[in-house]
Amino acid sequence: NAGVTQTPKFQVLKTGQSMTLQCAQDMNHEYMSWYRQDPGMGLRLIHYSVGAGITDQGEVPNGYNVSRSTTEDFPLRLLSAAPSQTSVYFCASSYSGHPGLAGSSDTQYFGPGTRLTVL
Amino acid sequence: QQQVKQSPQSLIVQKGGISIINCAYENTAFDYFPWYQQFPGKGPALLIAIRPDVSEKKEGRFTISFNKSAKQFSLHIMDSQPGDSATYFCAACLGFGMTGTASKLTFGTGTRLQVTL
C-alpha cells in the first residue's frame, strides 16, 4: 500500500492563479479530508468527504473547492490563489471518519503534505 | 477564537524524564480528544485518544489525563526518549461516532518537544 499520496510536494503560485492539489489513497477509505497547517495555528479543516459524490465544508472552506468522483481521489482546487492561502496542506483518509472509533487500527492517515507559497 | 488552547509552545526534557503537555477547551459539546504526533516534514499521526467519560488512558509510555469539570486534558510521556522529539497536537472532536458523517477536529496550536541526551 502506498497509503495517502499528495502531489505536488512544493508549489509557488502568483496571486490570482488557480491550481489543483492532488490527493489519492489506496486503502479503500470512505472518509477523506483536507487540512491546512499554519504556524502557531495548528491544523484547520478545509473540506471533507464521507464517500464518493459527498462532500462538506470544514472550518475554513472559502477559496477552495473539492469534488469526490472516486473513492481513491480527493483533489483540492484553489480558485484564485491569495497570499493568505500560503500554507502547508495535508490530505487525510480514514476508515470510519472518526479516529479510533473502530479500534486502535482505525486511525487517520495523513499524506506527506504540499507546501504552497502564493506571491 | 481558539477553542483549544495548548501549552507550552515548546518543551525541552532530558532523556528518561516526563514530558507533560496541557490543553484546555471551551466547548462542552466536544466528545472525543485525540493527540497527534508530527515529525518534521511528515503529516501528523494519531497517537492516543480519550472519551470524556474516562479520566485516564494509558498506552505504553503515553498517558492522557482528562479533567471534565476543569475542561482540561494533558498528555504525559513517561521515560521520554530522543525519538519522541516531535511536535504534539491535542485536538477535540465534535460529532464523534455519528453515522454518515466525520468527526470535526479542532486542533491546538502544537508543542515542539525536544528530548535531550
Q: B97 to chain A: which residues are within 8 Å by CB?
A: 98, 101
**Is A119 in contact with B65 (CB distance < 8 Å)?**
no
SS3 string, chain B, reads CCCEEEECCEEEEECCCCEEEEEEECCCCCCEEEEEEECCCCCCEEEEEECCCCCEEEECCEEEEEECCCCEEEEEECCCCHHHCEEEEEEEEECCCCCCCCCEEEECCCEEEEEEC
Nearest CB neighbour to B102, from listed A40, A97, A109: A97
Beta strand B45-50 with B104-107 is: unpaired
**pLDDT value at residue B52:** 87
One digit per residue, the tens of pLDDT, for chain A of length 119 reads: 679 999 999 999 999 999 999 999 999 998 999 999 998 788 999 999 989 999 999 989 999 999 999 999 999 999 999 999 999 999 999 887 777 666 666 678 899 999 999 99
Question: Residues B99, B100, B106, B111: is their CA dihedral positive or negative?
Answer: positive
**pLDDT value at residue B2:** 61
d(Cα B91, Cα B38) in Å, to the nearest integer? 13
Nearest CB neighbour to A101, from listed B91, B97, B108: B97
In the block, cell 497536537 appears at: B89
Integer CA distances (angstroms), B66 to A13, A83, B25, B49, in order: 43, 39, 11, 10
pLDDT tens digit string along B14-34?
999 999 999 999 999 898 899
Nearest CB neighbour to A110, from listed B44, B91, B110: B44
Is pLDDT above 60 for B85?
yes
Nearest CA in chain B to A113: B43
Average pLDDT, integer, range B105-109: 91
Grid cell listed for A65: 473547492
**pLDDT value at residue B73:** 97
Beta strand B45-50 with B56-59 is: unpaired
In the block, cell 482540561 appears at: B72
B63 DSSP β-pair partners: B58, B76
**pLDDT value at residue B94:** 82
Q: B62 to chain A: which residues are within 8 Å by CB?
A: none
pLDDT tens digit string along B48-84?
888 888 899 999 999 999 999 999 999 999 999 999 9
d(Cα A35, Cα A38) in Å, to the nearest integer? 10
